[in-house]
Amino acid sequence: MKHKVYIDGQAGTTGLQLRQKLQNHKDVEILLISEELRKDEAERKRLMNEAEVVFLCLPDDAAKEAVKLVENPNTCIIDASTAHRTDPDWVYGFPELSPLHKEKIRHAKRIANPGCHATGFIAAVYPLIRLGIIGTDYPLTAHSLTGYSGGGKAMIAEYEAENRSPLFDSPRQYGLGQQHKHLPEMQYVTGIDTPPVFCPIVVDYYSGMATCIPLIASLFKKKVTKNELLALLTEYYKDAKLISVGTEETNFLASNPLSDTNELKLYVEGNDERMTLISVFDNLGKGASGAAVENMNLVLGLDETTGLL
């Protein structure tokens, strides 16, 4: 018997990617809603309560309303929106952060799927805090490059328009007011005292992400060299099947080599005085639908990489 899953909001970018991944998943059956009933609350409710796992690929307010439709206590909801990522009643869906995170996900009925930029930031910073290398008061900054698919259907249409603005030919920094929606999540999950100074940048390619965190060794709580930090992070993620740690042999690091995958590679670069941690992954994979499938696998008692490698 296959596990029944339902995607609420399957017409959006994340929903479409998720459906594509699940169609190739040997252990699940996707419950489909007819196009004319896509916004019919009664039909959505019926399918949600029939499913073992419901994915919410909706705007925040719509996701909060959708949760109210689920009355089956055995149905697990995995929310891909921002709505519940700092809600203590929801489990944060990043299993590689610790054995406790993974165990909580296995038994959860409410899982908040991480945001894309937040995934890159948290993958680098959470271990630094946990290992005592930096304190929660460290003045963190982050620059994060993303492909334009991260902006959803509207941004994809803008970038792929025949007569688009020439400004789209160059990287564009956004979130200039330091109010990006992933900042509360970054602070909440890592436990840092204040959010980082965050500079997201959208680039003219479809998918891929590189989140860079600069570090000053003289501000560390625990003094480590670059190679020591590399060894510590390699050990930290040694059991992670979708996260690896390494360093780049050249002076160039692209932000899209893991596009169309569900993996993340954490690079340790720089020197003993000034270092950078760079998370490279796909904003639509480990940064969105891939992470959602990973969480679903754990909930259903499957190997977390099923359908992802």
Q: What residues are labeled active site?
A: 116
**What one-letter code names the amino acid at 206?**
Y
Pairing verdict, β 197-203 and 172-173: antiparallel
Beta strands in 57-207 (DSSP E): 76-79, 91-92, 110-112, 141-147, 172-173, 197-203
Exposed, middle or buried: residue 126 (CB in 10 Å: 0-12, 13-18, 19+)?
buried
Edge-to-edge strands, sheet with 53-56: 28-31, 3-8, 53-56, 76-79, 110-112, 91-92
Tokens representing residue 237 in the block = 């993620």
The SS3 of residue 252 is: coil
Q: CA triplet 156, 161, 163: central angle to 5 degrees? A: 150
Comparing C-alpha atoms, which of 172, 111, 180, 150 is closest to residue 284?
A: 150
- For the chain, the residue count is 309
| Residue 237 CB partners (closer than 8 Å, separation 6+) | 96, 127, 243, 244, 245, 266
